[in-house]
Structure 1
């Protein structure tokens, strides 16, 4: 009887150890394109947990203070979708090339996401072609 209980325990523990959360992002890069200075800088990375365990995002950090990321508040169940919101300070004129790093319990625990684009100055139209 003890051997049977031990075998059952080991089998259950082995199955639980194999359960893993896994990200699948719609896109790992957000392209702002050319946007006007002071325009809305909020964008969202959407993802699905394609693993078989709840996905917990423990932290999200940006490569500079001009980008503010926001992680999901709750765990994302297998098959469910979640989002990571980023807000870029569009008062800063010029090119956008930033990295947002996501820390989680996924099979790939550290994931790098990118944002890119250009914030145009006040005297330049979004419709104006650059030379």
Structure 2
């Protein structure tokens, strides 16, 4: 019986390697805001003053905000297509317009500590037209639960 199953299983049509290849034309191709491919060396580059921020001790229920300042040190327009917090308590706001070479901008992050306690670490994931295309920012805090009176 085992020989019969092996024979049947091995007779399935094998896919050719050419049929399973994925084109790399759309993977990590830096582009300018105009959609034209960026020349090598002229791609946008996002450089942050800092990528991590600690709010220190805060009281549960408190909302705190921090601005991550960055600069486009590349040679073409930088486009941020999305910014996503790791949970609903972490809400980023980012520039919707292209950031020109040499220009500074900021990502504002609001953290709502409602329902949180102890050491909390959250992230914001940016998707850009840089290479690599994702950048992760981190916020942390120690949330103190107030004593009930």
TM-score (normalised: structure 2): 0.68
Cα deviation digits, residues 5-52 of structure 1 (max 9, x gap): xxxxxxxxxx95222000110111011111123334111111011101
For 2:94 and 2:120, the matched residues in 1 are separated by: 21
Tell whether the 8 Å contact from 1:93 to 1:118 is kept in structure 2 after alignment. no
Are 2:114 and 1:56 aligned? no
1:78-93 equivalences in 2 (<5 Å):
78-93=101-116
Match of 2:126 in 1: 102
Extract unaligned runs of 5+ from structure 2.
Answer: 1-36
Q: Which has the higher contact order (CA 8 A, sep 6+)?
A: 1
For 1:16 and 1:107, the matched residues in 2 are separated by: 11
For 1:77 and 1:43, the matched residues in 2 are separated by: 23
Which stretches of structure 1, 4 residues or longer, exceed 4 Å deviation after superposition?
none
TM-score (normalised: structure 1): 0.76
1:1-131 equivalences in 2 (<5 Å):
16-18=38-40, 19-94=42-117, 95-123=119-147
Query: How many pairs were matched up?
Result: 110
